[in-house]
Chains A and B, each alone.
Chain A
C-alpha cells in the first residue's frame, strides 16, 4: 500500500492512498469537528462542518469526503474555515427548533457539542421556527422533525447497514423532511424492521426511543412534549 506524504497544520503526515483527510488527521490526533460523518457509513459531505483549506484549491473542501493526495497542504483551523463552520452551525440552529433544555439529547447532542466547541452563544440569523411535526406512531421510537438537521445518517444507516431503506428525504432545500416510505406515519411503514439503528445514528434528538432508558438516548415524556407542540401561539 503506497504511503503518501502531506502536511496538515504544518505537521508532516503519512497517509494511506484512498484515505480521507479526516481519517489521516484523526490518526495523528488532529481534531476536525464533524456532524454528518459516521464511521462505517459512506461519507456524504453534506453538513460542511468539517471544511478544511487545501493549498491550491480555491474553495475549502469537506475533510470527510476528500481523499488525500501526495504533497497536499491542509489547514484545519484557519480563521476562514472556523468562521465558516460557525456560520454553518448557526444556520442549522436557525433552520429548525433546537431548544436544548427540553430536548431528550440535551448534553448528549452532537450539534450542541459542535456549537459549544465553536463558542456559539448567539445566532446572527433570523430563526425560521417552522411548525414541524412530531411522529410518534411507531411502537418504540419517535421522530421529531424540529430537531432534525438533515444529516441523512438515518437514511444511510437504514440503507447501507440495515438494507431496508425505510427513510429518505422529501422535497428540497429548507422544506426537506425525512420521510418513511411514501411519506406515511412511521408506525405504518411496511419496510421498517424496527431495528433502531437510525435512532442510534441520529446526532441530535430528532430520532428517539420512547420511554426506555437503555438506549443511551435519554427518555422523553411524550404527553408533555405533544402538549407543548400543540400549544397555541400567543
Chain B
C-alpha cells in the first residue's frame, strides 16, 4: 500500500528523488526501480516528473513514457482520495464481479481506471486478491467489502464511502 504522503513538501519529494537517482548512479538500467520509487513518493507519475527523470537518466522521454504506460502498476493519473478496487478474478467473475464493476461504474458515473472529476473517488479492477472465499468482493482503501448480492455489495461500498468521507479519514 502506498503510504499517504500529504505531510511531505515538494522539496522533500524532490530531495528523495535526487537521493534515489544518486543511489542508482543515474544509470538508465535503473528506470523501473526509479519509477517505482517516484510513484511511492508522489502517488502517481506526473508527466513533468517523467520528463525530468528521462533527462537525468539520459533516456529518451518517449521511452520513459512508453515504459510507464506499458505496466499496469504505474499510474499516470492521480488516484482519488478514496480508491475502490473490484476483483474480477475467476471466482469473483463467476459470482458477478464484472457485474459489480459495471454497477459501481454506473453509480459513480466513472469507468474503471478513472477518477471522479472532484478527485474524491477512483475505481479500478484487479485480477485476483487471493480471498476467493469472500467472492464477489471489492476493496475500499484498505477494507475488504463483501456481500451476497451485487446490489447489496454496491450499497455497502457507497455506505462505507459516505462514512469515510464524513469522518474525513484518509486511507
- How many residues in B have their beta carbons less than 8 Å from beta carbons of A? 13
Q: Mark B52-89, 1 if CB is under 8 A from A, else 0.
A: 00100000111111100110000000000000000000
What is the predominant secondary structure among interface residues of chain B facing chain A? helix
B61's nearest neighbour on chain A, judged by CB, is A181
Known: A182-B47, A182-B50, A182-B51. A166 touches B69 (CB 8 A): no
Q: Please state if B70 and A179 are interface contacts (CB–CB under 8 Å).
A: no
Task: Enumerate chain B residues within 8 angstroms of A180, measured Cβ to Cβ.
Answer: 62
A180's nearest neighbour on chain B, judged by CB, is B62
Q: How far apart sit A170 and B62, CA to CA, in the bound complex (Å)?
A: 8
Chain A nearest CB, measured from B132 CB (Å)? 26
Q: Does A208 have its Cβ within 8 Å of any Cβ on chain B?
A: no
Q: Which chain A residues (137-191) contact chain B, with CB distance < 8 Å?
A: 159, 164-172, 179-183, 190-191
Chain A nearest CB, measured from B66 CB (Å)? 4
Chain A nearest CB, measured from B113 CB (Å)? 11
Chain B nearest CB, measured from A177 CB (Å)? 9
Q: Mark A181-209, 1 if CB is under 8 A from B, else 0.
A: 11100000011000000000000000000
Most buried by A among B65, B66, B70: B66
Q: Please state if B65 and A181 are interface contacts (CB–CB under 8 Å).
A: yes
Task: Enumerate chain A residues within 8 angstroms of B65, measured Cβ to Cβ.
Answer: 168, 170, 179, 181-183
Known: A182-B50, A182-B65. A166 touches B60 (CB 8 A): yes
Most buried by A among B61, B62, B66, B69: B62
Known: A179-B65, A182-B65, A183-B65. A168 touches B60 (CB 8 A): yes
Contact of B66 among A164, A169, A190 (CB under 8 A): A169
Contact of A170 among B51, B54, B60, B66 (CB under 8 A): B66
Known: A182-B47, A182-B50. A166 touches B62 (CB 8 A): yes
Known: A182-B47, A182-B50, A182-B51. A171 touches B61 (CB 8 A): no
Q: Which chain A residues (72-94) contact chain B, with CB distance < 8 Å?
A: none
Q: Please state if A171 and B70 are interface contacts (CB–CB under 8 Å).
A: yes
Q: Please state if A172 and B70 are interface contacts (CB–CB under 8 Å).
A: yes
Task: Enumerate chain B residues within 8 angstroms of A181, measured Cβ to Cβ.
Answer: 51, 60-62, 65
Task: Enumerate chain B residues within 8 angstroms of A167, measured Cβ to Cβ.
Answer: 62
Q: Which chain B residues (24-59) contact chain A, with CB distance < 8 Å?
A: 47, 50-51, 54
Q: How far apart sit A181 and B63, CA to CA, in the bound complex (Å)?
A: 8
Task: Enumerate chain B residues within 8 angstroms of A191, measured Cβ to Cβ.
Answer: 60-62
Q: How far apart sit A183 and B60, CA to CA, in the bound complex (Å)?
A: 12
Contact of A171 among B51, B62, B64, B69 (CB under 8 A): B69
Q: Please state if A170 and B61 are interface contacts (CB–CB under 8 Å).
A: no
A172's nearest neighbour on chain B, judged by CB, is B70
Q: How far apart sit A64 and B142, CA to CA, in the bound complex (Å)?
A: 49
Chain B nearest CB, measured from A192 CB (Å)? 10
Q: Please state if A165 and B60 are interface contacts (CB–CB under 8 Å).
A: yes
Among all A-B residue pairs, the 10 with the closest Cβ atoms: A165-B60, A168-B62, A168-B66, A181-B61, A170-B69, A182-B65, A182-B61, A171-B69, A182-B47, A168-B63
Question: Which chain B residues have a beta carbon within 8 Å of chain A's beta carbons?
Answer: 47, 50-51, 54, 60-66, 69-70
Q: A181-B62, A190-B61 are in contact. List 7 more A-B contacts (CB 8 A).
A: A165-B63, A171-B70, A179-B62, A179-B66, A181-B65, A182-B61, A182-B62
Enumerate 30 A-B pairs (CB-CB under 8 Å) in ascending A order: A165-B60, A165-B62, A168-B65, A168-B66, A169-B66, A169-B70, A170-B66, A170-B69, A171-B69, A171-B70, A172-B69, A172-B70, A179-B65, A179-B66, A181-B51, A181-B60, A181-B61, A181-B62, A181-B65, A182-B50, A182-B51, A182-B54, A182-B61, A182-B62, A182-B64, A182-B65, A183-B69, A190-B61, A191-B60, A191-B62
